Chain A
Amino acid sequence: MHPDPRPLVLSLSGITKRFGPLTANDHIDLDIRAGEIVALLGENGAGKTTLMSILFGHYVADEGAIHIADEAGRLAPLPGGSAEAALAAGIGMVHQHFALAENLTGFENIVLGTQSLWSFGLGRREARAKIARLVAESGLAVDLDVPVARLSVGEQQRIEILKALYRDVRVLILDEPTAVLTPQEADGLVATVRKLAAKGLAVIFISHKLHEVLALCERVAVLRGGAKVADRPTAGADRATLAELMVGRAIPQRERPPSTPGAPVLSLKEVSVGNPGQRDRLENASLDVRAGELVGIAGVSGNGQGALAGLVAGLAAARAGEVTLDGQRLTSADPAGRVTAHVGRIPEDRHRDGTIGALSVAENYVLESIGDPENQCGGFIRRGDIRVRAAEMIRAYDVRCPGPDAAIRALSGGNMQKVVLARALEGEPRLVLAHQPTRGLDIGATTDVHRRLIAARARGAAVLLISEDLDELFVLSDRIAVVHAGHLSPAMEAASLDVRTVGLMMAGHTAGEAA
């Protein structure tokens, strides 16, 4: 490698962090130069988050050191365990989940913590002038004077970036920044990042979307199992090589056997859910999900997926229109009724909706069916029977846990999801609702979920998959519909679609315009 003339701004050397027996970061070295855009690539659990948490002072490394350039460009050690020190040294981070106070305006969020708490007044004039300059330089236009709660996700992200720029960051970390954006919004972000890097900002771009990494970054560092397994220029790399580096093995192509759909199981006719004022609502949505068919719903989260999932799961009732399940009309919000109607439901948030953390694996397994005769007798729980069946389930689904009596909150996300899956697929449901079923799971657990959904489809269940992951949708779906601002497009044959079209539809274009 020929020497890079740009000055080094950040240098991590030998960073190691252990949590008990797990080594989350294993002697990681990483150098970043001014104006460089470096991708940090890795699966969930590869150690990206831990590494960034160490850099940002949330954790203290067991071994290793961080050096960061000071104003004069000299590298100086960064004290560990102090977010204040990281901020002061010029490290800024935009988290995947924004760290914004939604009751404050964008302006207030930006200046929060930048003045002494004991000073009086907010120094509005100078702050305004500086922000105006930053907006002009970066092109991040956004209304700064309304409460953040009223801004869209993309706008909130702009506030987040401005917040970092306002603190004169020299290193900006973007954690999965495009996950919440439409492909077109993501393009805008990419342009902004390029502009900022051209002015000398060093950018760390955390992602698992390979095409974005290849398009935006000049160098990519790949983490796997806590260790850095590659650090190379993106020039000359392709998606397959990066994916293999990230996973450590060639990714098996998932098989989706052909299937002939039967009669509609779930049918929506001009259905409206939720108040017209909400963003997450449905207006006049029509959709059929047939037996033996997997229909995918694409869209940026918050555009109506919640309303659709709530309707199918029985949490919400339709305001207008007709919903039928196997020909029976569904009129009321009735989660228990969905259970008895053989709808298997995998909620979006397994911690808040899917499981009850303090209860055991076995108890969570029978949560929906506790009133059934096999689980109770005269109002008393058949504890022995339940434990036996839970143990069988643990074997069948390969749930890694101490046993049926362990509190489910002690399980990893993937194992927790297996219990949710086992419960949802118990009794061979007619309809399966899978809402973001693989979010936050590693590749192994994701493959497992996919296999189970395909198996349900193969035995003739209708499967409704709501996901933000376009790759997942294209691999699994027979047909795909796109939801934007409450409007659901007709479901189209997946084979006839490409990512660009779906992306445009996610941004609100109709199928005709997008094609």
Chain B
Amino acid sequence: MLEALDIFTQANFWAATLRIATPLIFGVLGALLCERAGVLNLGIEGIFVAGAMSGWLAVYLGLPLWGGVAVAAFTGALFGLIHGVLTVPLGLSQHVTGIGVTLLATSVAYFGYRVAFPNVATPPRIEPFAPLDLPLLGDLPFIGPILGQQTAFTVFAFLCVGVVAVVLARTPLGLALRAVGDNPEAVEAQGLSVVALRIGAVMAGSALMALGGAFLTLSAFNAFYFGMINGRGWVCIALTVFASWRPGKALLGALLFGALDAYQLRIQTIAGGVVPSQIFLMLPYIVSIAALVLVARRADYPRALMKPYFKGQR
């Protein structure tokens, strides 16, 4: 039993927690931006795939790593634009459109990968983000090894949390975004464009989602695999509800989830043989559902979420 507790004292475990949490941080932040503006973006799963693939391919083709990050963000924004145009001015079902965007982004990424690499047995690799070389922090006991395993991409994720939090809470833009997710008429009446704000939010959110995918191929791993997203996007949608659409809580939720996932990976090796590995692999999904069910009743959904708005209609 002690072994199960020992895990918490291992720097490796905490390092893995951060690594697993990073893509989720991006994903939850992205979903939160879209939903705060009133648009559910179920394109997230596919946008993760497209971000992972495009960012990686850009680097493989010679762009610097941060160039790959930019390409991924751009790809995400592009799919966000599709989702935004279909759901905001055209007012199509956000559920079905989102699934459509996921199918499209996934198939574009897979088809593109197959066009670039028709017949490869082992996936081609790139040189990913290197672990941080921290002058002072790196020498600290315990903390040092944890941070020493992280890359600049993870630091960037934490920065994004701060930026999104400040923008939402303290700027006119954030005010307008929060308002458009609550009552688009209020925004329209004040002379702002509901369509522009919502599409903008969906594009920005989708760019963040794509960064979550790119982290996997540019930092956590060094190649693109089919099926590597494996439901991470959907998990982010559940975590967004869990986080009550707040950036700080989103960070917390992603870290908790990361810790849980890292823990189940480690406990597998201890309890393996007795309990089938699939049980542990199910845990993250089960916990996501449980979290969703637990908070659903109290969840303070943005009032205008999933309600299309047409100008001049009262």
Contact = CB atoms under 8 A, between A and B. Distances in A.
Touching in the complex, A and B, CB below 8 A? yes
Interface of A: 53, 58-59, 83-84, 87-88, 93, 95, 97, 99-104, 108-109, 111-122, 163
6 contacts: A93-B189, A95-B185, A101-B178, A113-B192, A114-B172, A119-B171
Contacts of A101: 178-180, 182-183, 186-187
B171 A53 contact: no
B188 interface: yes
A285 to B, nearest CB: 28
Contacts of B170: 120-122
Contacts of A100: 183, 186
A104 B215 CA distance: 34
Of all A-B residue pairs in the complex, the 7 with the closest CB atoms, nearest first, are A113-B190, A101-B179, A58-B312, A99-B189, A101-B182, A84-B191, A87-B191
Nearest to A112: B190
Interface of B: 170-173, 175-176, 178-183, 185-192, 302-303, 311-312, 314
A274 B84 CA distance: 40
A87 B190 contact: yes
B172 A115 contact: yes
Contacts of A115: 172
Given A95-B314, A101-B183, 12 more contacts: A53-B312, A83-B189, A87-B191, A97-B185, A97-B314, A101-B180, A103-B181, A103-B302, A104-B182, A112-B172, A115-B172, A122-B172
B132 to A, nearest CB: 29
Contacts of B182: 101-104
Contacts of B175: 104, 108, 111-112, 122
Contacts of B173: 117-118
Contacts of B303: 102-103
Contacts of A53: 312
Given A99-B185, A100-B183, A101-B183, A117 B191 contact: no
A88 B191 CA distance: 9
Nearest to A118: B173
A109 B186 contact: yes
A99 B183 contact: yes
Contacts of A113: 172, 176, 187, 190-192
B188 A99 contact: yes
Contact of A102 (B171, B183, B312): B183
A112 B183 contact: no
B189 A95 contact: yes
A58 B176 contact: no
A114 B190 contact: yes
Contacts of B311: 58
Contacts of A111: 172, 175
Residue among B178, B186, B312, B314 with the highest chain A CB neighbour number at 10 A:
B186
A95 B170 CA distance: 28
Q: Interface majority SS on A: helix, strand, loop or mixed?
A: loop
Given A97-B314, A101-B186, A103-B303, A117 B179 contact: no
A104 B172 contact: no
A58 B189 CA distance: 10
A113 B302 CA distance: 19
A112 B186 contact: yes
Residue among B180, B187, B189 with the highest chain A CB neighbour number at 10 A:
B189
A102 B302 CA distance: 10
A99 B186 contact: yes
Nearest to A58: B312
A116 B172 contact: yes
Nearest to A100: B186
A18 to B, nearest CB: 16
B193 to A, nearest CB: 9
Contacts of A102: 182-183, 303
A122 B314 CA distance: 30
Residue among A53, A88, A101, A103 with the highest chain B CB neighbour number at 10 A:
A101
A163 B183 CA distance: 15
Nearest to A92: B189
Contacts of A114: 172, 190
Nearest to A56: B189
B187 A83 contact: no
A22 to B, nearest CB: 16
Residue among B170, B176, B302 with the highest chain A CB neighbour number at 10 A:
B176
A95 B314 CA distance: 10
A119 B170 CA distance: 10
Given A101-B179, A111-B175, A122-B170, A83 B191 contact: yes
Contacts of B188: 83, 99
A453 B132 CA distance: 78
Contacts of A116: 172
A101 B180 CA distance: 8
A426 B191 CA distance: 48
A167 to B, nearest CB: 8
B314 A117 contact: no
Contacts of B179: 101, 103-104, 108-109, 112
Nearest to B36: A103
Contacts of A119: 171-172
A119 B171 CA distance: 7
Contacts of B172: 111-117, 119, 122
Nearest to A93: B189
A325 B298 CA distance: 35
B186 A103 contact: no
Contacts of A99: 183, 185-186, 188-190
Residue among A87, A99, A102, A111 with the highest chain B CB neighbour number at 10 A:
A99
A145 to B, nearest CB: 14
A45 B172 CA distance: 38
A141 B303 CA distance: 27
A121 B185 CA distance: 23
B310 to A, nearest CB: 11
Nearest to B172: A115
B190 to A, nearest CB: 3
Contacts of A93: 189
Contacts of B180: 101
Nearest to B192: A113
Contacts of B176: 112-113, 117
Residue among A88, A112, A116 with the highest chain B CB neighbour number at 10 A:
A112
Contacts of B314: 95, 97
Contacts of A122: 170-172, 175
Nearest to B190: A113
Nearest to A123: B172
A112 B171 contact: no
Contacts of B190: 87, 99, 112-114, 163
A121 B171 contact: yes
A121 B170 CA distance: 6
A343 to B, nearest CB: 30
